[in-house]
Amino acid sequence: MSQTELSVKVIEDKPGLLTVEFSNLRREVLNGIRRTILAEVPTLAIDEVLFTENSSPIYGEYIAHRLGMVPIKTPDDPEILSQISIDIQGGNPPNMRVEYQLRAECPPQLGQPLTVSSDMLKPLGVEEARPVYDNIQLFKLGQNQVVELQATARYGLGKQHAKFSPVSPVVYIYKPVLIFDKTKDEPCDQHVSVCPTNCLEYKHGELVFTNPWDCILCRACEKACKSGATKIMWDESVARLTIEATGSLPPKVILKTAILILLKKFKLVSEKVGA
């Protein structure tokens, strides 16, 4: 591989978590992917709530907000999702809606408050569009208190409201680089001990990384070096992108959808300028 050839390598692939290493990808492109993931990959989220009964002391707005933040399983076709994103941004949101029903009542014989969880939120007709997690606590009811409601989920984007964003954090970091000047004679035991992630070792008269990706760029070792022999830098030609999903969509689908959204936007621009 040449020094300027783009390479992509999956470092970690777990349910809900994906880390991908990019080499020779411009930071403007990488940051564009990150921002698209945060703001433009569409998901389903509850956006309307109609209460038919609420005898609890909890305001309906509070319950509606809690319901809106519950991650909903979303169909995971990147091609369809990318087109939905383009349509929403163009002012033509899809008509797809998913209806939900929730009824909870705390009987007096229970003897304690009833915890209402996301497993009580039942989709009507589209069983696949259920809450990602069944154990999200929504609110509690006292004896003889009742909450009955109907909710509607629709597609939206993170730039419209955070509840539509498919990720919690999505970050990228550059590869840390340790520069050590052996000509400056100074004991380095202290440098090793101040590292909060224990990613340094003194070997054959030189301070080196045990694993450069464990470095958090805090520069504690550099600050502890009085002679200036230790410098912490980073290599912008190598970066790792980490995606932690909320569960609405798999991380690989999120990444592919974001890339397709960008490609479709570039194609629209190209068509507009007549290229």
Strand locations in 32-166 (E):
43-54, 98-105, 114-117, 122-124, 137-141, 146-156
Q: What pLDDT is stored for residue 125 in this prediction?
A: 83
Neighbouring C-alpha atoms within 13 Å toward the C-beta of 219? 10
Q: What is the DSSP string of 132-156?
A: S-S--EEEEE-TT-EEEEEEEEEEE
Please determine, for residue 242, whether its predicted confidence score (pLDDT) is greater than 70.
Answer: yes
Please determine, for residue 1, whether its predicted confidence score (pLDDT) is greater than 60.
Answer: no
Q: Is 218 annotated as a binding residue?
A: yes
Cβ atoms 247, 72 nearer than 8 A: no
Q: What is the pLDDT of residues 106-160, one digit of tens each?
A: 998 888 999 999 999 999 988 889 999 999 999 999 999 999 999 999 999 999 9
Q: What is the pLDDT of residues 29-49, one digit of tens each?
A: 999 999 999 999 999 999 999
Q: What pLDDT is stored for residue 237 in this prediction?
A: 93
Cβ atoms 175, 209 nearer than 8 A: no
Q: Is 215 annotated as a binding residue?
A: yes
Taken in order of first residue, the domains within the chain and their CATH numbers are 5-36+167-240 (3.30.70.20), 42-163 (2.170.120.12)
**Residue 186: which pLDDT band, with cuts at 50, 70 and 90?**
low
The larger pLDDT score, comparing residue 35 to residue 274, is at 35
Token pair 């109907």: residue: 150
Model pTM greater than 0.95?
no
Please determine, for residue 275, whether its predicted confidence score (pLDDT) is greater than 60.
Answer: no
Q: What pLDDT is stored for residue 2 in this prediction?
A: 55
Q: Is 221 annotated as a binding residue?
A: yes
Neighbours of 19 (CB within 10 A): 18
Q: In Å, what is the CA distance from 189 to each residue of 71, 157, 207?
A: 48, 50, 9
With CA atoms as reference, report the closest residue to 19 among 171, 168, 132, 167: 171
Q: What is the pLDDT of residues 211-227, one digit of tens each?
A: 999 999 999 988 888 88
Q: What is the pLDDT of residues 86-99, one digit of tens each?
A: 999 999 999 989 99
Please report, as a single letter, which amino acid is at residue 274: G
